Structure 1
C-alpha cells in the first residue's frame, strides 16, 4: 500500500524529470533559433565525390593519359638535344593529345573543393625524354584499345578506339624518328572477319574494301615492277575482305550487296601524286567504315573492327598520309577544317 508521503515523493520525482526534459527541449530549440539567426547550421559531414561508373572510369582514364602524354611531349620537345624534325613531331604529339582530352570532355569537375596543386605536381613541372613519350604512347594505346572493346557505350567506344589508333600511329612515327622499335600495338598479320555480322556494320565494310581493291587495281595498271606487284597484292587483299564482309552479313551477290562493278576515279591518273592520293583516300574510307562499326557492335565484340581500323591507318601511313588526331572520324576532321 502506498503511503501519502510516498505518493507525494513519486509525483515530485516525475515532475522533476518532466521539468528537466522540458528545459532541455527548450534549450535545444533556443540554440537552433540562435544558430539560424546567425546563418549557422549544426555541423554536417562534408560532401564527397560521387563514385564514377564504368563508362566514366574509362573516359576519365583516357583523358588523364592524354594530358600526361601532352605534358611529357611538351617537355621532351624543349630538350636541348632534340633536332627540329623531332621537335616538330613531339609538338604534334602534344597538340593531338590535348585534342583527345578536349574531345573526351576534359577532367571531371564535381564542383567540390580540391587540394591545391603544388609546383611539383603541376603540368608545367613534367620532365620527360622522347623515349619516355614513346613508352607512354605505347602503353596508353594498348589500354585504350582494351577499353574500346569493353565499353558498353558504343559512341564512346568509337571515340576511344579512334584515340587508341591515333596513339599507336603517333608511336610508330616517333619510333621511326628515334630509329627504334615501337612499343605501340600493330595490326594482326591476317585480318579476320566474324562468321556472322549485321548488315548495318558489314555492308559499309564490304563496299569500302571493294572500292579500295578497285582503286589499287587502277594504281597497279599505272606502275611497273615491284610497285605494280605490291599494288596488285593490296588490291587482291581488299577484294577478298570485301567479299568476306558481304558473305558474313548474308548479302553477297544479292540485292543488298553494296559492291559495284566500278567506282569513281579522279582525273590525272598519270600523275604519281594523284595515284598516291587515291590510295590514301580509299584507305581513309576503309578506316571510316571500321570506326563506324565500333559504335554498332556490342562490348566484347569489337576486336576485329579495332584491328581493321589500325590496319587501315597503318597502310595509309605507308602511303604517305599525315597523322590524324581522330582516324576514322570524318566529322572531327571536318570540324577542325571549319
Structure 2
C-alpha cells in the first residue's frame, strides 16, 4: 500500500510542502524543528513531547500544535510524516505506531535499540509502502559527500584501512554507553562512503569505565573488512580535548577528514607505500620490495551549509520520488548490527564476534 492509498494520509500537490510533526523536544528535537520550519519542502504542524512545557519552548511561538499525545498527532490527516527524536528505546514503538497510521518516518540515530526492533520497523515500512529514514546527519555534510564521491570514483584506490577518532569531554549518558552514543556517527559515515556499505567480517570491542559510571566511557572498535582492509573506531567521553578525525588509507592516496578544521576539512595525500613482488630463485620464491611514494597534497573546496537542511530535503525528495533515501532503514540496520555485535564482544572480553546477517528475508514483529 502506498502512502497515497492510506486513508489517514492526505496527498498534497507535488510541489506543495508536506505536513510533518516532531516527536521529542529534548536534545535533538529543537534542531529538527528549526530545520523543518525553514524548509520549503515541509510544513511543521506539531511538536509532541510528554513534557508539554518543554515542547512549547521548542515550538517558540510557531503556529503549531503542542501536545503530549502521540495519538492526536497520528490522527491528523494533514500530517504526512513524523520525525522521531526520543530515546532509542522508544523508537520502535513510536515508529511502528506512525507507520501503521500511514505516516512516513524519520528516526534519529540509532534506528532502534536492537537489530530485532530495527528489522521490524524496516519490514513494516516496506509492507506499508512508506519511507523509513535514519537521521545519519553526518552523511549529509559537504565533507562526507565529497569523501563518498572520491571513494566512488577511485581517487584513493583500493581502501586499505580506516582510522576514526571521536573524543571529547562529553555528557555521560544515563541509558547508553559511549559506543551507542558516539560510534553511530562514525559507523554511519563508513556505511555511506564504503562501496557496498558497512559489512564487516566481524567486530571486536574493548571498553572501560575508569570513573565508575556503570557503563563504558572509553571504547575501541576493530572491524575487519572484505578484501583485507581494517577499520578502527575510537570513542571517548573523558578526553579534555575534542577530536573528530577520520583517516582513510587507499592504495593510491590517503584522505584525512578533520571535522573541526573549517579551513581545511579534507586533505588528500598522494603519499604511501608501494610493494613490488619479486622472484628471487628458480623455485619462484618471492619477496617484497618496498618503495615510498611522496607526492602532492590537496584540499577540495567545500560549500558551507547545515547538514540537517540537506537531510530534511532528502527525506522529502525520497517521498516524492517514491525511492529509498540515501540513509534508509537498511543503512540504519547495518549500523545497529555493528553496535549489537560490539555489545556481544564486550561481554566476551573483546573477542571477535560475527555481525548479524541482514540480507535474509525480514518478518514483521506484530
The answer, yes or no, to whether TM exceeds 0.5 is no
Higher strand share: 2
Q: TM-score range by the shorter chain?
A: under 0.3
Larger gyration radius, structure 1 or structure 2: 1
